[in-house]
Amino acid sequence: MQPKNVRMWRFDMLRFSYTNHTKYRLLAFKLQAQLLATLPPKMAHELKYNRTVNIHGGPGGNIPCDLALEFMNMRAKDGLTGLRGNLTSTAIQRCGRSLQGCNYLIDGYTKELQQLFGKPANSKHSIQRDISKPVDSLKDEKLFDRKPGRSHRSFMTMEYDPNSKLNGKDFSVG
């Protein structure tokens, strides 16, 4: 999370407040409190900058932490569905302990197969070229600059500045 994103969370906290999204407002407040006050400096730095994980090692292998968590959840659910009617706390603990070993086995198996046969046909190809083509064509349009008279009929009521409704008097202390 870059410093710009931290600042945006501050504005979002205000926006969540006046749009009555209390759950998100609390989340934004907790993030700001952790970064600025409650966490030790080392943990605050980790929270701010460690948003990816490199599971397999090597350059270019970073994936978002949320996606890595989804992978682990998927493997855990696969292990637990195999238990079917035998869902006891002991069986669940045993399954949880075996997941790490299974992860190593599956990762090693996948790596060896890729060396023998190459990447599978259903593997995701890089979308960088697909993204850069429209980005390059729209670069000269200056989409994020305000141009009088430019609008889209589907977004006529959309505000340019989401914080334009913000009233500082509503946030008085007391």
Q: What is the pLDDT of residues 94-106, one digit of tens each?
A: 888 888 777 777 7
Per the prediction, the chain carries an average pLDDT of 79
56 pLDDT more than 80? no
pLDDT at 43: 85
Is residue 13 very low, low, confident or very high in pLDDT (cuts 50, 70, 90)?
confident
Helices (H), 57-150: 65-81, 89-117, 128-138
Average pLDDT over residues 62-89: 82
Hey, where are the domains in the chain?
1-50, 52-119
Whole-number pLDDT of residue 23 = 92
Kindly list the distances between the CA atom of residue 121 and the CA atoms of 56, 118, 124, 126, in Å, as whole numbers in the listed order: 20, 9, 8, 13
Among 23-37, 66-80, 97-111, 130-144, the range of highest mean pLDDT: 23-37
Residue 61 binned pLDDT confidence (cut-offs 50, 70, 90): confident
Q: Is the per-residue pLDDT at 58 higher than 70?
A: yes
Task: Indicate the range of 16-20, 51-55, 113-117 predicted with least confidence.
Answer: 113-117
Q: 13 with 29: CB under 8 angstroms?
A: yes
Among 22-31, 140-149, 150-159, name the one with the lowest average pLDDT. Answer: 150-159
Residue 58 main-chain phi, psi, to 5 deg = 90, 155
